[in-house]
Structure formats: structure tokens, C-alpha cells
Amino acid sequence: MISVGIDEVGRGCWAGPLVAGAVVLLEPIAGLRDSKKLSVAQRETYARIINDEALAVGLGWVQPDELDTVGLSEAVSLAMHRALDAIKMPVDEIIIDGNVNYFPEKPNVQVVVRADDTVPAVSAASIVAKVARDRYMVEIAHAKYPEYAFDRHVGYGTSLHQQLLKLYGVSDIHRKSFRPVQAIMAASL
């Protein structure tokens, strides 16, 4: 049975895209686990291995302005559908991390809480999505907006990010529908 694992990253970030990964593995890769439980170096190493060994890898991106327009739940669905659409091979089963089936129109979908730590293809999806998103935030977002130190917090709601938001205001890549960002915008009026 050919399974595709799907997971998203960046759901809670205050800035930057939400990214979903979809991965089809021929064989499990030893040591895979939830991307949040791996160091940056481990994620980078595994991402290279996954991209070399997987039968298929897909990424789905939703930028902040689109997320603000459609809302977080729909953005997760869009990212997952885009990631799956990038898989150009037939699959027998879709395994999603979490507790929501974002593919009710498809048969053979399994929704598994903590699949990103227990199902190798979902762990792989988590890792490739996290590495791609973090690279984007470090290489592209930080280059365009160095004052926000995206190379240090990659858009997550850290105290440093909050301090820099208060100092510089809201950028084009901040999620304006998120309460902490809205609070900064309201305080600056």
C-alpha cells in the first residue's frame, strides 16, 4: 500500500507563510520524528535524505495575506491540498497529522494525532515543510526585513519578535488577522 504523509508547519507564527509537506516513502527512514523534536542540523540532514530517498515530495504554501483573507483553518486545508497536488503519483492512503480530515472528498484518509512523531511519512512531511519554511524566513524574509530578526525566530511569537514588532510596526509579511499582531497595530494608532 502506498501512503502519503501530510503535515503543516507555521500554524502559530505571527509572520511568514504556512507550509504543508506531503511525502511518499518507499521505506521508512530510521530516526525520523516530529520536526519540533529535532535540532536545526538534524532537520537539515533528514530533509536532504528525504528529498533523495522519497518516491515523492510536495510542498504547499499559503502566504500571510491569503491566510488573513481565508482564515487559519482554510489556510491549512489549502496548504495541504497544494502539497498533495504536487505529488504526481497515485497513492492508496492519505495520513494526516492532527484531528481534522482536510480531505473529506477523498477515500482512505486517516487522521492521526501525533502522526508527525509516529508515522515515518508524516514525520518526513513535517521535516521537509519545516526546513523549507525556515529557509524562506531566514534567506528571503530576513533579507527583505532584517530589522525583525527573522533569522532568529522565523516568525514565531517570541519575546524578541514582540519587542521588534513594537519598535518597527507591522510588515507586509505579518499575519494581520492574528491577535498579537492586531494588538500591535491598534497600539500604534
Note the pLDDT of residue 166.
93
CATH code for the domain of 130: 3.30.420.10
**Which amino acid makes up residue 123?**
S
The pLDDT score that the predictor gives to residue 65 is 97
User: In this predicted structure, what is the pLDDT of residue 188?
Assistant: 76
CB 101 within 8 A of CB 111: yes
Low-confidence ranges of the chain (pLDDT < 50): none
Report the pLDDT value the prediction gives residue 66, as an integer from 0 to 100.
98
Question: Would strands 18-24 and 3-9 be described as parallel, antiparallel, or unpaired?
Answer: antiparallel
Q: Total structural domains in the chain?
A: 1
In 22-158, alpha helices (H): 40-53, 64-70, 72-85, 115-118, 120-135, 142-144, 150-153
Rounded to 5°, the CA angle 136-95-2 comes to: 105
Which residue segment(s) compose the domain that 75 sits in? 3-187
56-79 pLDDT per residue, tens: 999 999 999 999 999 999 999 999
